[in-house]
Amino acid sequence: MYRFGKLIYQQEEGERYGFSLCRIDNAGTRDQTYDLLGVIRVAVDPRQPEKLGENLRGWAVATLAAGGHGFGCYHATFSTLDENDEPESDLGNLDINWSGSQVLVPAAE
């Protein structure tokens, strides 16, 4: 399992938030599973927690590029974290099709 830095910013109190990244195995089949690759804890302005979610895509793409992850489907999530810093309540997510070096986008019809 590949682990990212566990803590970037420490929030004083209240909910903990984080970004997580999973590899989707057997994507699009009934055997689809999610392999958690890592979680990074992030600070959130409690008045506007949704603002941090806007950075999810950039973080996920940078993490895939830096981590040497191969071709496949990946799932990134912005969520609250439980007491073990594992993803809990989903606040935003996205799927990324990754070539091994860049994001794959569907061809225009």
Look at phi and psi of residue 57 and say left if phi exceeds 0, alpha if psi is from -120 to 50, else beta: alpha
- The token duo for 58 is 């950039």
pTM of the model: 0.79
Q: What is the pLDDT along the chain (109 residues), one digit of tens a residue?
A: 333 444 333 444 577 889 999 999 998 899 999 999 999 998 877 677 667 778 899 999 999 999 889 999 999 999 989 998 899 988 889 999 999 999 998 777 6
CB within 8 Å of 2: residues ≥ 6 apart: 37, 38, 67, 69
